[in-house]
Structure 1
Amino acid sequence: MGDRLRLVPDGKLALTVSGLRAAETGPETDNLVLRAARALAARCPGLRLGAFHLEKRLPVAAGLGGGSSDAAAALRLLARLNGLAPDAPVLMEAARATGSDVPVCLDPRARIMAGVGEQLSAPLSLPPLFAVLVNCGVAVPTAPVFKALGLAPGAALPGPEHPLSLTDGAQALALLAGLPNDLEPPASALAPEIAGVRALLEAQPEARLVRMSGSGATVFALTQDCHAAARLAKRVSQGAPGWWVRSTVLR
């Protein structure tokens, strides 16, 4: 379901993009993959580079962290090529220089993030959460959503403490039921289609909890098991064949 990134070692730093979503990625010279590679090269003189190829599968500006994950994957590939340890501090430095969501993607395990993404909790212990992701094709850039939220730099909205361990899906659902996505109101004001997708998912019998993902516009529904997720995804896909719909497991 996710993007795929390959690296052909040595030679000039370069990037090519293919896939159904390739046209949505914008100029290749400004891609987060190249930004991450340049950030690491600036901190590691003599770093071996190469040509990246990105197969773009995830929607762009969808609140799924696809670009940040691609950038983190580029850093991991370069680390492997150059014999850098996966936890080398320079990788985190380059990740922070690339984007707020890149650090958490370096070690892709569930965590609680704070600040602008630089403050990460220890990995969370979560049960498998079966989900259906739905994107109606509306791109929602992150910056306008945060601007519409209206928080001053360094400010935070109040919220409960999050446990670092959840033993089962019911416990996770109970916790998440009390945790709204504060970015959903401003994102929905910018893209009213989000509210329509949410209403559609909330009306489905398999949906146990529905939320917007990240800064939107993707909306997800949690289900009882993989069979319920598959049924829900199939029904939504049949009703809206132009939408991007995937069932998955969140860990």
Structure 2
Amino acid sequence: MRLATQVSGQGPDLLLLHGWGMNLAVWQPLVETLEEEFRITVVELPGHGASSWDPGCRSLDHWTAAVLDAAPSRAIWCGWSLGGLIAQRAAALAPERFSALVGMATSPCFVTKPDWPWAMETSVLERFASELEADQVRTLRRFLALQVQGAENSRATLQLLRTEFEARPAARVPALRAGLDLLLGVDLRNLPEPTGVSMHWLLGGRDQLVPPALASHLPGRVRVIRGAGHAPFLSHQEECAGILREWAANV
């Protein structure tokens, strides 16, 4: 399985991984801000955008192996949402490939459990799964709206998100199903902290999918952008870029 990538800029390597149903275009505004300071590789997840899809690629380790094959030999990895799950697993499997890990609006576990209330109710994702079968376009549009719900400048951010999202081929339905299964089923809370990899987390203070209360339950450095929702790199692009610069300078 071959994953589509986009490489631009010069400087230390920075890898960007998008979230469920998205594609590499959503990163473009941030890429344009940072590409004079970093060599940026943006990877499209399996079956998303122009990346190919293998029906046997359903586990987190399958997705992680595909991304590792497409990634630079060593980089700062920044994983947004579902991409953050993959980055966490990759750091455990291949810590030598990491200068640092940045989890953006992501979590080790996306659904609530008796001892883990800082997540989504399982029913939210299950509803997306059932609606996906009936109308892929409508389901993804609703998911886009949920990502900016409650955030500052939500209308402008949603328009930007839609514009960038529609610039690339739509994700394949089997890949969307598999991605939802990962969000529903993966729990990395007991994953050992990767040796030698500095951990950083950037959360949105108004995120409806990854509650900011999660901040005190994450290892490493955590920053919360108060007015941001689930896509802080779009709604608060300059602030995100500044935080990434700051963390990269201390790697």
Fold match (TM-score > 0.5): no
TM-score (norm 2): 0.27
Question: Which is higher, the Rg of structure 1 or of structure 2?
Answer: 1
More helix per residue: 2
